[in-house]
Amino acid sequence: MDDKYFPKKVEQKWQRRWAETRAFEAEVDSEKPKFYALEMLPYPSGNLHMGHVRNYSAGDALAWYKRLKGFNVLHPFGWDSFGQPAEDAAIKRGVNPREWTEDNITAMRGQMERMGFSYDWRRQMFAHRPEYYRWDQWFFLKMYEMGLAYKRMTQVNWCSHDQATLSNEQASGGLCWRCGNPVTKKDLEQWFLKTTAYTEQLLEGLTEIEAGWPASVIKRQRDWMGRSEGAFVDFEVKATDDSLFYCPIVDGLTSSSAVGRGRIRVFTTRIDTIYGANAIVLAAEHPVIQANLDNFPEAVSEKIALIRVENTKPTDHEVEIEKDGIDTGLSAINPFSGEELPIWVGNYVMMEYGTGAVMSVPGHDERDLEFALKFGLSVKSVIEPAEREGGGKPRFQTANSAAFTEYGVLVNSGEWSGMPSIEAKREMAAYAESRRFGLAATTYRLRDWGISRQRFWGAPIPIVYCDACGVVPERPENLPIGLPENIPITGTGESPLANIPEFVQTRCPKCEGPAKRETDTMDTFVDSSWYFFRYTDPANTTLPFDPETAAYWTPVDQYIGGDDHAVMHLIYARFWTKVMRDMGLVSFAEPFRRLLTQGMVVGETFFDDATGKKVYEMPANVTVTRDAKGKITTAVSADGRPLKHAIERMSKSKGNGVDPDEMVDIYGADAARLFTLFAAPIENELVWNEAGIEGAVRFLQRVWRLVLKWESTIGMTPLEAGAPIISGARDLRRKTHQTIKRVQDDFEELQFNTPVAALMELSNAIADLDVDPVMATPDQIVAVREALSALILMLTPYAPHTAEELYSVIEGHEDGIIKSGGMFPEYNEELARAETIEIAVQVNGKLRSRLVAPPESSNAELEKMAFADEKTREYTEGKEVVKVIAVPGRLVNIVVK
Site for RNA in 414-473 (CB under 7 A): 443, 445
Which span sits near RNA by CB under 7 A: 99-107, 317-325, 432-440, 824-832? 317-325
Report in angstroms how near the CB of residue 846 gets to RNA at its nearest.
Answer: 6
Report in angstroms how near the CB of residue 385 gets to RNA at its nearest.
Answer: 17
Q: What residues between 172 and 191 interact with RNA by CB under 7 A?
A: 172-174
Residue selected from 261, 317, 374, 436 as contacting RNA according to rule CB under 7 A: 317
> What is the Cα–Cα distance from 451 to 164, expressed in whole angstroms?
12
Element (H, E) at 545: none
Please answer whether residues 442 and 196 qualify as being in contact, where contact means their C-beta atoms are separated by less than 8 angstroms: no
Backbone angles phi, psi at 839, to 5 degrees: -110, 130
| Residue closer to RNA, measured from CB, 511 or 757 | 757
Report in angstroms how near the CB of residue 211 gets to RNA at its nearest.
Answer: 15
Please answer whether residues 595 and 570 qualify as being in contact, where contact means their C-beta atoms are separated by less than 8 angstroms: yes
| Residue closer to RNA, measured from CB, 212 or 681 | 681
Residue selected from 228, 295, 549, 717 as contacting RNA according to rule CB under 7 A: 228
- The DSSP 8-state label assigned to residue 397 in this structure reads P
Q: How far is CA 715 from CA 116, 554, 601, 711, in A?
A: 28, 43, 42, 6
Which span sits near RNA by CB under 7 A: 238-246, 265-273, 394-402, 502-510? 265-273
566 Cβ neighbours under 8 A, 6+ residues apart: 216, 217, 220, 221, 597
Work out whether 252 is an interface residue with RNA (CB under 7 A): no
Partner residues linked to 228 by β-bridges: 443
Partner residues linked to 465 by β-bridges: 471, 516
Report in angstroms how near the CB of residue 164 gets to RNA at its nearest.
Answer: 18
Please answer whether residues 352 and 334 qualify as being in contact, where contact means their C-beta atoms are separated by less than 8 angstroms: no
* 3-state SS class at 609: coil
Residue selected from 203, 258, 430, 895 as contacting RNA according to rule CB under 7 A: 895
Report in angstroms how near the CB of residue 200 gets to RNA at its nearest.
Answer: 16
Q: What residues between 809 and 868 interact with RNA by CB under 7 A?
A: 837-840, 842, 844-848, 850
Report in angstroms how near the CB of residue 503 gets to RNA at its nearest.
Answer: 36
> What is the Cα–Cα distance from 447 to 170, expressed in whole angstroms?
13
Residue selected from 55, 101, 529, 893 as contacting RNA according to rule CB under 7 A: 893
Report in angstroms how near the CB of residue 449 gets to RNA at its nearest.
Answer: 15
Q: What residues between 91 and 110 interact with RNA by CB under 7 A?
A: none
539 Cβ neighbours under 8 A, 6+ residues apart: none
Task: Please work out, in degrees rounded to the nearest 5, the angle formed at the alpha carbon of residue 373 by the alpha carbons of 367 and 378.
Answer: 100
Which span sits near RNA by CB under 7 A: 147-155, 182-190, 264-272, 395-403? 264-272
Report in angstroms how near the CB of residue 885 gets to RNA at its nearest.
Answer: 4
> What is the Cα–Cα distance from 651 to 603, expressed in whole angstroms?
9
In this structure, the dihedral spanned by the alpha carbons of residues 165, 169, 170 and 173, taken in order and rounded to 10 degrees, is: 110
Q: What residues between 724 and 763 interact with RNA by CB under 7 A?
A: 751, 753-754, 756-757, 760-761
Which span sits near RNA by CB under 7 A: 168-176, 334-342, 538-546, 857-865? 168-176
Report in angstroms how near the CB of residue 705 gets to RNA at its nearest.
Answer: 7
Q: At what angle do helices 778-795 and 800-811 cross, to 10 degrees?
A: 150
Q: What residues between 328 and 357 interact with RNA by CB under 7 A?
A: 347-351, 353-354, 356
> What is the Cα–Cα distance from 561 to 41, expressed in whole angstroms?
9
DSSP assignment of 239-259: -SSTTT---PPPTT-TTSTT-
Element (H, E) at 604: strand 601-608
Residue selected from 764, 820, 836, 858 as contacting RNA according to rule CB under 7 A: 764
> What is the Cα–Cα distance from 865 to 859, expressed in whole angstroms?
10
| Residue closer to RNA, measured from CB, 197 or 837 | 837
Element (H, E) at 119: none
> What is the Cα–Cα distance from 139 to 585, expressed in whole angstroms?
11
Which span sits near RNA by CB under 7 A: 12-20, 220-228, 380-388, 811-819? 220-228
- Contact letters for RNA, residues 616-655 (x by CB under 7 A): ----------x--xx-------------------------
Work out whether 315 is an interface residue with RNA (CB under 7 A): yes
Residue selected from 562, 692, 728, 773 as contacting RNA according to rule CB under 7 A: 692
Which span sits near RNA by CB under 7 A: 158-166, 240-248, 257-265, 310-318? 310-318
- Residue whose C-alpha is closest to residue 522's, from 583, 447, 462: 462
Report in angstroms how near the CB of residue 20 gets to RNA at its nearest.
Answer: 33
| Residue closer to RNA, measured from CB, 532 or 678 | 678
* 3-state SS class at 55: helix
Report in angstroms how near the CB of residue 429 gets to RNA at its nearest.
Answer: 12
| Residue closer to RNA, measured from CB, 274 or 500 | 274
Cα 869 to its chain centre, rounded Å, is 55
Residue selected from 45, 184, 269, 312 as contacting RNA according to rule CB under 7 A: 269
| Residue closer to RNA, measured from CB, 85 or 889 | 889
Which span sits near RNA by CB under 7 A: 181-189, 251-259, 690-698, 715-723? 690-698
674-679, Cβ contacts within 8 angstroms, sequence gap of 24 or more: 674/699, 674/700, 674/756, 674/798, 674/799, 676/50, 676/53, 676/54, 676/57, 676/601, 677/54, 677/57, 677/58, 677/61, 677/752, 677/753, 677/756, 677/798, 678/752, 678/753, 678/756, 678/757, 678/798, 679/753
> What is the Cα–Cα distance from 170 to 790, expressed in whole angstroms?
47
Report in angstroms how near the CB of residue 717 gets to RNA at its nearest.
Answer: 24
Q: What residues between 697 and 716 interact with RNA by CB under 7 A?
A: 698-699, 701-702
Residue selected from 215, 402, 539, 716 as contacting RNA according to rule CB under 7 A: 215
The 3-class SS string of 186-231 reads: EEEEEEEECHHHHHHHHHHHHHHHHHHCCHHHHHHHHHHHCCEEEE
Work out whether 365 is an interface residue with RNA (CB under 7 A): yes
Q: What residues between 556 and 585 interact with RNA by CB under 7 A?
A: 567
Report in angstroms how near the CB of residue 39 gets to RNA at its nearest.
Answer: 21
Report in angstroms how near the CB of residue 886 gets to RNA at its nearest.
Answer: 9
Residue count at the site for RNA (CB under 7 A)?
Answer: 83
Residue selected from 49, 66, 323, 578 as contacting RNA according to rule CB under 7 A: 323
Q: What residues between 489 and 548 interact with RNA by CB under 7 A?
A: none
- For the chain, the maximum distance between any two Cα atoms, rounded to a whole number of angstroms, is 110
Report in angstroms how near the CB of residue 679 gets to RNA at its nearest.
Answer: 4
Report in angstroms how near the CB of residue 634 gets to RNA at its nearest.
Answer: 13
Q: Which amino acid is at 564?
A: D
DSSP assignment of 58-104: HHHHHHHHHHHTT-EEE---EE---SHHHHHHHHHH---HHHHHHHH
Number of H helices, E strands in the chain: 25, 35
| Residue closer to RNA, measured from CB, 244 or 620 | 620
Q: What residues between 766 and 805 interact with RNA by CB under 7 A?
A: 767
> Count of CB atoms within 10 A of residue 771's CB?
17
Residue selected from 38, 73, 330, 358 as contacting RNA according to rule CB under 7 A: 358
Which span sits near RNA by CB under 7 A: 381-389, 453-461, 522-530, 679-687? 679-687
Residue selected from 472, 687, 725, 832 as contacting RNA according to rule CB under 7 A: 687
- Contact letters for RNA, residues 27-46 (x by CB under 7 A): --------------------
Cα 652 to its chain centre, rounded Å, is 23
Residue selected from 105, 283, 560, 573 as contacting RNA according to rule CB under 7 A: 283
> What is the Cα–Cα distance from 206 to 218, expressed in whole angstroms?
7
